[in-house]
Amino acid sequence: MKRYDLREHGNSFIPRLTELMNNEIVEDENGIFLFEIGDFSPIQEVSDVVKANNWTLMNSIKFNEVDWTVVIKKTQDQSLIVETSEEE
């Protein structure tokens, strides 16, 4: 588990988050990311990036009045897997 403070990036932290997840976090490891929430749109952006990359959003919490923390696991989100039957 690694922790990253992305507050210095303001609302432009998504590329850095993606870079860290792809290059610094190994499979089945968690990354903890702290960022500024501003108008709350970054929270949806994080969710969209997690889904697009097939990671798992483990936790998302408001840290204080201006900061948000997310925990992302670099593993396939099992809730998105559709079971198929060989009988079909």
Spatial contact of 31 and 60, defined as CB atoms under 8 Å apart? no
Q: Which of 31, 15, 14 is nearest to 74 (CA)?
A: 31
pLDDT at 84 over 60: no
**Count of beta carbons in the 10 Å neighbourhood of residue 6:** 20
In three-state secondary structure terms, 30 is: strand
Give the residue extent of every domain in the chain: 2-75
Whole-model pTM: value is 0.82
Alpha helix (H) ranges present in 1-88?
A: 14-23, 41-52
Query: Can you tell me the distance from the alpha carbon of 65 to that of 58, in angstroms, rounded to the nearest whole number?
Result: 21
Spatial contact of 30 and 56, defined as CB atoms under 8 Å apart? no
| pLDDT tens profile 17-62 | 999 999 999 999 999 999 998 788 888 999 999 999 999 999 999 8
Q: Which of 43, 49, 45, 41 is nearest to 18 (CA)?
A: 49
Domain spanning 2-75: which superfamily? TusA-like domain (3.30.110.40)
Q: Where is pLDDT greater, at 11 or 23?
A: 23
